[in-house]
Amino acid sequence: MGCHLEEHPHYMLELRVTMKAIDWRLCLVADMEAAGKRDLIVIIQEAAAAGATIIQLRGKNCKTREFLDLAVRIASFLKPKGIPLIVNDRADIALACEADGLHLGQQDIPLFFARKILGQNRLIGISVNTIEEAQTAEKEGADYVGVGPVYFTSSKDKLPTILGLEGLRSVREKVHIPILAIGGLTAENAGAVISAGADGIAVISAIMGEDDISEATKSLLNVLS
């Protein structure tokens, strides 16, 4: 059963602690499966050195202890650099490794309960595919939304409706929190996505699918800056 904000009147949005300023331009979704045989930590280090502004760690099929160990190591590397680490799906691991935030899908733990676990001083983002999902996420206290897929992507088994630029613009018109666009984004189309209202982009293959991680990151940033 879903959790609705109105069921918890003591959850007051005006008491939210103001989040530190976040550079939303370029989020690397560091997917453990997409890394293949390459060292994921090395990929993250190279992307961070080249200017990636957020790292989201994703390990859909990873065992808990392996995921936790990796998250702790990545957090310890990123924290001194001031680059936010967002953990995908796992509120317990985000809390344990002292990550800066948590990213949730529509079928993950409801935002209200994730906030109870993580408190007010960590980011929580929600993946959305419709205006209604985006508005609900904002109403319930999400710090940002991941909107997509904007274009076709092979990173999801069951692809939701492809939004295109018009769909992205429609979401932008209805919500006021930051938007990270995701889905099929490249250096060639990222500029148009920003012009359509996204605050930044989240990518997997546009960085991890390239041989030169640093150059791929810089190419994206050149369009986003």
48 domain residue, yes or no: yes
16 domain residue, yes or no: no
Domain count for the chain: 1
Sequence-distant (6+) residues with CB within 8 A of 150 are 162, 163, 164, 165, 167, 168, 181, 182, 183, 184, 185, 189, 193
pLDDT band at 75 (very low <50, low <70, confident <90, very high): very high
Instruction: Tell me the two tokens of residue 31.
Output: 């997917």
Catalytic member of 25, 115, 127, 172: 127
CA separation for the pair 225, 208 (Å, rounded): 20
pTM for this structure?
0.89
Kindly report the backbone phi and psi dihedral angles of residue 181, in degrees, each rounded to the nearest multiple of 5, phi listed first: -80, 145
Question: In this structure, what CATH number is given to the domain that contains residue 200?
Answer: 3.20.20.70
- By residue range, what is the domain housing residue 217? 22-224
Short-list 179, 201, 205, CA closest to 30: 205
Based on the residue annotation, tell me whether 37 is a catalytic residue of this protein. no
Based on the residue annotation, tell me whether 127 is a catalytic residue of this protein. yes
pLDDT in tens, 77-117: 999 999 999 999 999 999 999 999 999 999 999 999 999 99
Catalytic member of 20, 38, 81, 156: 156
Sequence-distant (6+) residues with CB within 8 A of 9 are none
pLDDT in tens, 141-165: 999 999 999 998 876 667 789 999 9
